[in-house]
Amino acid sequence: MSYDPKDMGPSLAWELRRLERQAELSFEAELRILEKLLTGRTPSRVLDLGCGSGAFTRRLRDAWPATTVVGADIDGDMLALVAEPTKLIGPDETLVHESESAYELIIIRYVAQHLSPESRGSMWARCRAALAEGGHVVVIDVDDSDWGTVQPQDHTLEPIYQRISAFQTRGGSDRSVVGHLPDELKAAGFIEVSRVRDHVASSTRPIDDFEPHLSPTRHAGLVVQKVLSLAEMARLAAAWQSVRSDPDAFISLNIHAVHATNPSQTTSVHTRPEGVM
């Protein structure tokens, strides 16, 4: 696992606030994706796998009050921040026990990028075992080749961002993971696998709402690790302030998801939606 919230930004408290603001920014787009994929049917039992601090879990419970949304994570300290029902899971532990009902939907947000292909393969197998027949898995994660746009752009910062990306890759993070997921899910036995996309833009949200994604403060730990210099952090901060102060600035961030269905042994499953735009 290449992500540890304690190593992000200047403090754990700062990272928890960032996760909260990140969920607030993208939740409506992510909910649109889920409701489109489920063709308007609200599931009765959902697992938020890798729920972290529960920022998304809480919002999904509010949006689907009749649904049981279980938050699950391997980090007990983070899981302690999440209201029940929750599930502390080990790396290879089953996701549903014999005494429990299977899940109709498993959501995995921004976790797959931090796992090795082998660990992801194990996770897909565990998801299939925990899903009801005809149940769904939706994986929301990153694709740096299609992340969005920021105007005005500062192309002189590209070498800095390339160095950050290279460091993340060496640490085990896969910033193009969405492109690998369809084949992995098919290999795990899922059917009706499809990629979908939505977006959130400054045409409907204030520029400052995008700070969790674009503020250089999230890279503060890279100065300590000597990946970035203080001067480079200052350049990133100045570029972000330039965007914030430009009345014509525009930001659009893409939300990528991969959907798959656990096959039924006796009945056909829903036709795959074409996508979300």
3-state SS track over 139-157: EEECCHHHCEEEECCCHHH
Instruction: Return the number of other C-beta atoms located less than 10 Å from residue 166's C-beta.
Output: 11
Question: Residue 105 in contact with residue 234, Cβ under 8 Å?
Answer: no
Q: Give the pLDDT confidence of 2-55 residue by residue, as tens digits.
A: 567 666 667 888 889 999 999 999 999 999 999 999 987 899 999 999 999 999
Model confidence at 154, pLDDT cuts 50, 70, 90, reads: very high
Q: Report helix, strand or coil for 256.
A: strand
Report pLDDT for 12.
Answer: 85
Instruction: Write down all domains in the chain, each with its CATH number in brackets.
Output: 5-144+174-201+252-261 (3.40.50.150)
This prediction's pTM: 0.90
Q: Could you tell me which residues come within 8 angstroms of residue 11 by beta carbon, excluding any fewer than 6 positions away?
A: none
Beta-strand runs (E) in 50-184: 68-73, 86-88, 103-109, 131-141, 148-151
Give the single-character DSSP code of 43: P
Burial of 275 (0-12, 13-18, 19+ CB in 10 A): middle
